[in-house]
Structure 1
Amino acid sequence: MKKLFVPLLAIAAFSAMAFTHYTIEPLAIGSSLPEANTKLTDVSGKEVTLAGSKKKNGLLVIFSCNTCPYVIKNQERNNEMCAYAEKNNIGVVIVNSNEAQRNDADSYDAMKKYAADQGYKWNYAVDKNSTLADAFGATKTPEIFLFNKDSKLVYHGAFDDSPSSPKDVSRKHLQVAIDEAVAGKEVSVKTSKSVGCGIKRVK
């Protein structure tokens, strides 16, 4: 029995360490914009920062990629909401944190092509070593973080209440959050569940 107990204990300890290592706490509502001055390479070839991309009424940060089926399924909503944010004087940065696929589907060249194909008129930047994803506690693509004019997080989650099916949307969480934040009101729905592919970090 003792011989069996020791290996089982070792396995349990390893599992606990693995769970701790890969569990990431999301940025709490009310938190300040993290990694605000970290330089990111945009698909335009320019270096951008979150602080420099923020506009008068805030900043919208979306963790995304090129190939996730949920990103593709939400692409029309993504473009609609990015345009809506900019219309409301909120800056936009879409971030690709899939560092483990940087030499493949989420390479810089692939990002440039994807941005061009989708008609992006906003920043789409490389998150080297998933630095921003770690700071934000982002785990999915797409995953949304909205900051107000004071650079405080006021909404985190999905575009709306039906990430899997656009035709079943009954509440546009992000759009309502933008309206409320711009009006100086407290955001009524502060969090929702992001549904998508896991961010591909380098282990």
Structure 2
Amino acid sequence: MHCRPALVRSLAPLLALTLGVVSVGSADASEFNQVLDVGDKAPAFEKLPTADGKTLSLADLKDKKAVVIVFTCNHCPVAKAYEGRMKAFAEEYGKKGVALVALSVSQEPEDELSQMTARAKEQGFNFAYARDESQAVGKAYGATVTPQTFVLGPDRKVRYMGAWDDSWREAKTAEEHYVRDAVDAVLAGAEPAISEKRQVGCGIVYE
């Protein structure tokens, strides 16, 4: 199922769901996540294959001051719109001891590992791009759209989750930088002023 970016900002949830564009609101575990809440321990993942031919486990990042996990994919235009921002973040915050991990659970043909490898090379990704064929990690995090972001503190508890910023179309139009602000707070030993925002993007289809 493909995302149609012109309709991402639709305010009609039923229409959005029909089109595979999801903006989820649930009060089961948190305001916008049916599985996790801010303050929960982040689910671990182990030996996921990555686009560079290696494997990645959350435990491999144990020395990082913070970890940012972005559920993304190749085919979603909203996810693509954030690739430049993700590269800029990885370049800047990698020097501060922060790891950025892109993680795909998509079952679309263009999101197979070989296609991820090609995309990572083409776009010059400077962060790990991992694949979870089982989709178990996406389910454990309650991920519903691409891109959807989780900021983990040094204790690997969720400190922020939701949208990367408030403007998916162009980085220069964003006024609220949720992920950067949350990571800055974590690095300063503080709690993020905003810990959750509604995720907007292409719906993740679970098998």
Same fold, TM-score > 0.5, yes or no: yes
TM class by shorter-chain length?
0.7 to 0.9
What is the aligned counterpart of 1:161 among 160, 166, 182?
Answer: 166
> Contact 1:94–1:124 at 8 Å: present in 2 too?
yes
Distance 2:91 2:40 in 1: 25
What is the aligned counterpart of 1:177 among 175, 179, 182?
Answer: 182
% identity of equivalent residues: 31
**Matches for 1:33-112 after TM superposition, within 5 Å:** 33-34=42-43, 36-98=44-106, 100-101=107-108, 104-112=109-117
Aligned residue type for 2:40? S
CA RMSD of aligned residues (A): 1.7
Which consecutive segments of 4 or more residues in structure 1 shift more than 6 A? Answer: none
What is the aligned counterpart of 2:144 among 126, 135, 139?
Answer: 139
Q: CA deviation at 1:25?
A: 1.1
Q: What SS does the aligned partner of 2:134 have?
A: helix
TM-score normalised according to structure 1 size: 0.81
Q: Which runs of 5+ in 1 are unaligned?
A: 1-23
Alignment-derived partner of residue 30 in structure 1:
39
**Matches for 1:16-27 after TM superposition, within 5 Å:** 25-27=34-36
Distance 1:165 1:120 in 2: 19
Larger-Rg structure = 1
Q: What SS does the aligned partner of 1:105 have?
A: helix
Structure 1, 184-193 or 80-89: larger mean CA deviation:
80-89
TM-score normalised according to structure 2 size: 0.79
Q: CA deviation at 1:192?
A: 1.0
Structure 1, 183-192 or 24-33: larger mean CA deviation:
24-33
What is the aligned counterpart of 1:116 among 121, 136, 149?
Answer: 121
Aligned residue type for 1:180? A
Aligned residue type for 2:102? I
Q: Which runs of 5+ in 2 are unaligned?
A: 1-32
Distance 1:117 1:31 in 2: 36
